[in-house]
Structure 1
């Protein structure tokens, strides 16, 4: 179970739960993990879709297991996590990724931003329920099992800091800012437990279903591919990342981050560098 930089990871025997794995960056991460040999729970609100996505990953060296889970629903989360633990025979890594974007609130959010006072309470709460409360609920269901095992990893997917203060980005910006705060506190609460908490973000606008249809071809060409998340998530799930916690890793800058980490890792007093870009 090892990887460094862009080398191929060997994650055989590693069990991973990826929320929101049926599309976008969640699917890209799940595909990379299965390709590296991991056993991956493919979760999403629609079981049939999760089954189709898992079937499409067949043939990799790992295994994709579809599980229905709406992260907004505490009972569904509890049932889903219990199913994952049973079908994967335990769990090593939680990747909190399920999220909804501004497109659900304002389909033209990039070209016609909507001020916060025009956002309905329901729209606000729907985004917070997935992007923030969902992270909390899944972590609450998973952490007792990781603590019992005495080890485990949590990776919370977040976004650029600019997204958190951008005009017209309520409630998406606040939901991501809240997830970052949650991640920091989770890491502090779990300090010394053997369970690590790190954040991972693409590092720019990414080609997913969250992007509006009206973008020009020129703008679309500048979007990051969802696969930008592959190398860092493989590393974070590998033996090479043992003991790494409290980090905020920008996927688009991962190679540089990793080289800096390698330089500093040799010093007993050194912690991996923070990656505060984005």
Structure 2
């Protein structure tokens, strides 16, 4: 793992091996790029070969970034993906659980035309939970034994504002993120004293990603955050500077001076 950097400076992540799920776009892409810029070797995942190839090519930091096809909903796909990373990089130091789908999958106009929960199809509800909740569990379950073997590691579970979890018309997305928050706290407690830190990271507001509707009002879009806001906190969480900090909920837009406020 890396040495702690001076306060306010980007950490040096040379030697860090990071797995970022859902790294082909949005927050995942921004975090993958930031980690690579700080020197980490990054494996970013997505569901299709073309998307992972395009994402890794766009970051283009030499051989620091590799694309990996992995479906976080599928235990076999996750197991094979983690094995591939371990073979290629020799280990994993950081897991960023980011892969997820949003309200657009059940209601494309959710920001301007909210639908009550009883209008959500059971298939849509199940698929969103399988990606957003089961996915976090399956990838962490596959990675943690390898971190335990070496006595260190970082797990960062990407989250959302708590108000969004309870927002009218936000079933099943809001409840899915409430579930992953609860899961993250349990992970942190289960791993207490092992050298593996588990934290939640969220932007702190709506971000300009593929999860937001294209036809949202312009005044609304003007308030959305740039996904790049996730860069400084994810690099800090991946560094030695955050060693021993666990079970925290860190808001990216409040992250200043190289540390969370």
Please state if 1:151 is matched with 2:152. Answer: yes
The alignment status of 1:241 with 2:251, answered yes or no, reads no
- TM-score under structure 1 length normalisation: 0.90
8 Å Cα contact 2:229-2:252 kept in structure 1: yes
In 2: Cα distance, 1:10 partner to 1:204 partner:
28
* TM-superposed deviation, 1:47: 1.8
CA distance 1:5–1:224, shift in 2 (3 Å): farther
Kindly provide the CA deviation profile for residues 198-238 of structure 1, in whole angstroms up to 9, marking residues without a partner as x. Answer: 00000000000111011122221110000010000000011
Q: 1:121 to 1:90 in 2, by over 3 A?
A: same
Q: Quick check: 1:251 aligned with 2:252?
A: yes
Equivalence for 1:127: 128
Distance in structure 1 (CA, Å) of the matches to 2:109 and 2:143? 36
TM-score (norm 2): 0.96
Q: Is the alpha carbon distance of 1:183 and 1:259 closer, same or farther for their aligned partners in structure 2, counting shifts above 3 Å?
A: closer
Contact residue 187 and residue 196 of structure 1 kept, 8 A = yes
Question: How far apart are the structure 1 equivalents of 2:8 and 2:49?
Answer: 33
- Residues 132-176 of structure 1: per-residue CA shift (max 9 Å, x gap): 000000000001101111111100001000111000000000100
User: What value does the CA root-mean-square deviation take over the aligned residues?
Assistant: 1.4
Structure 1 residue 115, shift from structure 2 partner: 0.4
Whether the 8 Å CA contact 2:165–2:175 is kept in 1: the answer is yes
Change (3 A) 1:137 1:54: same
Look up the match of 1:17.
Answer: 19
Unaligned runs of 5+ in 1: 261-278
Unmatched runs of 5 consecutive residues or more in structure 2: none
Q: 1:33 aligns with which of 26, 31, 35?
A: 35
Distance in 2, Cα, partners of 1:127 & 1:228: 25
Which stretches of structure 1, 4 residues or longer, exceed 6 Å deviation after superposition?
none
User: How many pairs are equivalent?
Assistant: 259
CA contact (8 A) 1:154 1:198 kept: yes
